[in-house]
């Protein structure tokens, strides 16, 4: 009896296919990783890093006067109306001193109820108006305060001092701060036995102005009051990096 070759061939092919499936299922997975890029470290140039500070003290040329006016009445409308009259009188007196419109402004306005001692009953209403004056002659600010309080009716008067333009003092302090940084860097270079090179980088870290403490005078300003002016401190901090020569 002859056996046909075709069925045998088909059986062999099926067996091979099954074997291939079994092998593929048991073969461990292969992971392909992309080689990481080579990171080149930046060349760090030797340098001296230092900082400098300086303070410049100058007599201020500007007085900032904050003066308040207030009114208390039985109604809010009455308090505001009375306040408006008092404010007009105060502003008129301020302008009579020669204060320009650009140097006079409002910094606060408030209207609210006034309560009894128990806090349960409204006994009236209070309105207040706060004005700010820029006075450019610090030596005569006492006379200005006398006029504002005695004739203008201002209360809660506060005076602080500063500069009309602080840039000049800041520039002087900055130059001194950079010189301070260079002196420190030179000392470090000498101690390390190296030569100080050129400037690599300069950073302005901080600039601040510290005026004297504000004077709160209330309403008890005497005639021809003498107001101590004092000095205004301008402080600058810088950071300077030098190459090593």
Domain span(s) for CATH 3.30.70.2970 in the chain: 62-162
Say if CB 148 and CB 93 are below 8 A apart.
yes
Give me the pLDDT at residue 136, please. 95
Domain span(s) for CATH 3.30.110.170 in the chain: 47-57+167-210+235-244
Give me the pLDDT at residue 25, please. 39
Superfamily designation of domain 47-57+167-210+235-244: Protein of unknown function (DUF541), domain 1 (3.30.110.170)
Give me the pLDDT at residue 134, please. 96
Give me the pLDDT at residue 239, please. 97
Give me the pLDDT at residue 126, please. 96
Give me the pLDDT at residue 123, please. 95
Closest residue by Cα to residue 178 from 51, 49, 48: 51
- How many Å apart are CA 241 and CA 203, to the nearest integer? 9
Give me the pLDDT at residue 7, please. 45
What CATH fold (topology level) applies to the domain 62-162? Alpha-Beta Plaits (3.30.70)
The per-residue pLDDT string of the chain (245 residues; one tens digit each, 9 = 90 and over) reads 444 444 444 444 444 443 433 333 343 332 333 344 444 445 667 899 999 999 999 999 999 999 999 999 999 999 999 999 999 999 999 999 999 999 999 999 999 999 998 888 999 999 999 999 999 999 999 989 999 999 999 988 999 999 999 999 999 999 999 999 999 999 999 999 999 999 999 999 989 988 766 666 654 455 556 778 889 999 999 999 999 98
pLDDT in tens, 104-113: 999 999 999 9
């Amino acid at each position: 009896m002859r056996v046909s070759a075709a069925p045998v061939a088909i059986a062999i092919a099926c067996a091979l296919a099954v074997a291939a499936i079994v092998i593929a299922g048991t073969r461990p997975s292969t992971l392909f990783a992309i080689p990481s890029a080579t990171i080149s470290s930046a060349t760090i140039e030797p340098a001296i890093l230092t900082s400098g500070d300086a303070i410049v003290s100058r007599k201020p040329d500007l007085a900032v006067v904050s003066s308040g006016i207030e009114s208390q009445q039985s109604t809010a409308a009455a308090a505001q109306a009375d306040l408006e009259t008092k404010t007009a009188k105060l502003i008129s007196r301020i302008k009579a001193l020669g204060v320009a419109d650009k140097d006079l402004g409002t910094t606060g306005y408030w209207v609210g109820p006034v309560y009894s001692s128990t806090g349960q009953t409204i006994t009236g209403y209070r309105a207040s108006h706060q004005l700010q004056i820029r006075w450019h002659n610090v030596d005569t600010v006492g006379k200005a305060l006398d006029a504002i309080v005695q004739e203008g009716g201002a209360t809660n008067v506060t005076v602080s001092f500063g500069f009309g333009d602080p840039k000049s003092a800041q520039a002087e302090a900055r130059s001194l701060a950079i010189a301070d940084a260079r002196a420190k860097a030179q000392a470090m270079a000498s101690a390390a036995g190296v030569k100080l090179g050129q400037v690599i980088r300069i950073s302005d870290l901080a600039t601040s102005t510290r005026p004297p403490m504000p004077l709160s005078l209330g309403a008890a300003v005497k005639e021809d009051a003498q107001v101590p002016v004092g000095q205004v401190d301008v402080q600058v901090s810088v950071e300077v990096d030098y190459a090593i020569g």
